[in-house]
Amino acid sequence: MLRAITLAVLLAVPSVAPEPPRTTTETWTGWFSDKQCARVKPDEEPRPNGTSCVKKCLDEGSPAVFISEQAKAVYEVRDYASAKDAVGYRVQITGDVDEQAKTISVQSVERLSEVTSMCLVPKKRRS
């Protein structure tokens, strides 16, 4: 009898398997940057970081990120080794976005325009 009750309980409780990551395919405009320099402030529009600064940080091992104008957020780039080549351009990308992990797996990139901006890291004051 006890075995029958235990078996009934086990069959009635759904299995607790981890849910696969929920991704959506999005097409956004914005800029590639590096994780160290990229910031989006809640009360400001997103903007690109300085091209030479970003490339230097990517060369030093900082992960590539995408700054989305539409989402007003920063997403770590997955599956796109050519992010550095698109630094310095406003681009349109299509990719699979995982909002929970804040990642984007890039499917396509189209350069829209070249950008010129300064590095947002404040310069040290000379005494």
Residues in contact with 25: Cβ distance below 8 Å, sequence separation at least 6, in sequence order: 94, 95, 96, 97, 107
Q: Does any domain span residue 3?
A: no
The pTM of the whole model exceeds 0.85:
no
Q: Tens digits of per-residue pLDDT, 56-90?
A: 999 999 999 999 999 999 999 998 889 999 999 99
The CB density around residue 72, as the number of other CB atoms within 10 Å, is 14
What are residue 102's phi and psi, to 5 degrees? 55, 50
Q: Does any domain span residue 89?
A: yes
The CB density around residue 41, as the number of other CB atoms within 10 Å, is 9
The CB density around residue 97, as the number of other CB atoms within 10 Å, is 22
pLDDT at 25: 94
Own/partner pairs, 116-122, CB within 8 angstroms, 24+ separation: 116/51, 117/47, 117/48, 117/49, 117/50, 117/51, 118/50, 119/37, 119/49, 119/50, 119/52, 119/53, 120/37, 120/39, 120/47, 120/49, 120/50, 121/37, 121/53
Q: Does any domain span residue 30?
A: yes
Q: Does any domain span residue 33?
A: yes
Q: Does any domain span residue 120?
A: no
Q: Tens digits of per-residue pLDDT, 93-110?
A: 999 999 999 999 999 999
Q: Does any domain span residue 123?
A: no
State how many domains the chain has.
1
Higher-scoring residue by pLDDT: 32, 116: 32
Q: What is the CATH number of the domain that holds 60?
A: 2.40.50
pLDDT at 58: 94
User: Rounded CA gap, 89 and 85, in Å?
Assistant: 9
Q: Tens digits of per-residue pLDDT, 10-55?
A: 555 555 556 665 889 999 999 999 999 888 888 888 888 889 999 9
Q: Does any domain span residue 68?
A: yes
pLDDT at 42: 80
Boundaries of domain holding 69: 20-114
Q: Does any domain span residue 9?
A: no
Judged against a pLDDT cut of 80, whether residue 123 lies above it is answered with no
